[in-house]
A and B are shown apart, each in its own frame.
Chain A
């Protein structure tokens, strides 16, 4: 256990479903991130939250909607996804933006059918 917990670990959803991914950290970090890892591609940054404010949206389609209600929790709300959105979604946190204690969760393996 790294200190960053993601649930669920696996998710299968239809294209018309609405689901949410959850990320939780109790490391005292103040920045949280969503990353996407597609097959045979490098990790891609999706969203960055610093002090609960979104500071970057890396050209992510609106069918992905992040939410950061407090510094310990980060959600990724999913709706009307496409099969090409199937991937491993990783959450990470750090103290400050990217420098200290960068810690990843174990990821959610998402399959869109």
Chain B
């Protein structure tokens, strides 16, 4: 079992729909990243969370440390939101060398 599990693996939506991507992890963490990867490979960091909730435009990320769970929400989805969304956790404790452990990614396709 992976330390970081994302669901769903694939998500198809119609433009305008509200989207939720979930991430569960099994290790103690000091922070969690949500990343966006477009075709062609480049990765953009959307959020880094250690508690609570963050919002940027149409994107909202929440984290529940006790439940070891985070969600990424996209409101009023648009075809340009089509990408792979990756959850990554920064392991806590010990000699943490900035090591991120990644989920397998969620492939989001938004149709017009």
> Could you list which residues of chain A lie within 8 angstroms of chain B, going by C-beta atoms?
2, 31, 33, 37, 41-45, 48, 50, 55-56, 58, 88, 90, 92, 94, 96-99, 102-107, 109
Q: Find the B residue at minimum CB distance from A42.
A: B102
B2, B35, B42: residue with the most chain A Cβ atoms closer than 10 Å: B42
CB B68 to nearest CB in A, in angstroms, measures 18
Which residue in chain A gives the minimum CB-CB distance to B33? A102
Instruction: Count residues on chain B whose CB falls below 8 Å from chain A CBs.
Output: 25
- Main DSSP-derived SS at the A contact region: strand
Q: Is the CB of B41 within 8 A of A97?
A: no
Where chain B touches its partner, the secondary structure class is strand
Q: Which one, B11-19, B20-28, B90-98, is touching chain A? A: B90-98
Is the Cβ of A48 less than 8 Å from the Cβ of B44? no
In contact, A98 and B43 (Cβ under 8 angstroms): no
Query: Considering only CB atoms, which chain A residue lies closest to B40 in the complex?
Result: A106
> Which B residues touch A109, using CB under 8 A?
41
A87 to chain B, nearest CB (A): 10
